[in-house]
């Protein structure tokens, strides 16, 4: 699963062979969530501060996430996304 970004110990990834709705995965230690790109719905468990950081990053990079999702569905290379600073 390609890595899109890494910040604050959080790793953001997106699968190539994935199901809809469009989403990405975030890992933090033993925690993992998926976030729907269009709605922001979160599935899974994450520490509160790490979740806040992921959601802040998500809002800032929504268009890039959409483009990477379409690339993944077309089996094209994904573009790395800037980390949260």
Q: Is residue 24 part of a domain?
A: yes
For helices 48-60 and 62-73, what crossing angle results, to 10°? 80
Q: Is residue 79 part of a domain?
A: no
Verdict on whether the full-model pTM lies above 0.85: yes
Task: Provide the b/e sequence for 5-23 (b: ≥16 CB within 10 Å).
Answer: beeeebebbbeeebeeebb
**pLDDT tier at 70 (50, 70, 90 boundaries)?**
very high
pLDDT of res. 26:
98
Tally of domains within the chain: 1
pLDDT of res. 85:
85
pLDDT of res. 17:
82
The whole domain housing 29 covers 3-73
Q: Is residue 52 part of a domain?
A: yes
- Tens digit of each residue's pLDDT (9 = 90 or more) over 11-63: 999 998 888 899 999 999 999 999 999 999 999 999 999 999 999 999 999 99
The yes-or-no verdict on residue 82 having pLDDT over 90 is: yes
Phi, psi of 41 (to 5 degrees): -65, 130
Q: Count the Cβ atoms, other than its own, within 10 Å of residue 66.
A: 13
């Amino acid at each position: 699963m390609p890595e899109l970004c890494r910040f604050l110990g959080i790793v953001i990834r997106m699968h190539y062979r994935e199901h809809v709705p469009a989403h990405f995965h975030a890992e933090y230690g033993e925690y993992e969530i998926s976030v729907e790109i269009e709605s922001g719905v979160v599935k899974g468990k994450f520490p509160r501060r790490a979740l806040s950081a992921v959601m802040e990053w998500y809002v800032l990079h929504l268009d890039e996430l959409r483009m990477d999702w379409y690339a993944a569905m077309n089996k094209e290379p994904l573009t790395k996304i800037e980390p949260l600073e």
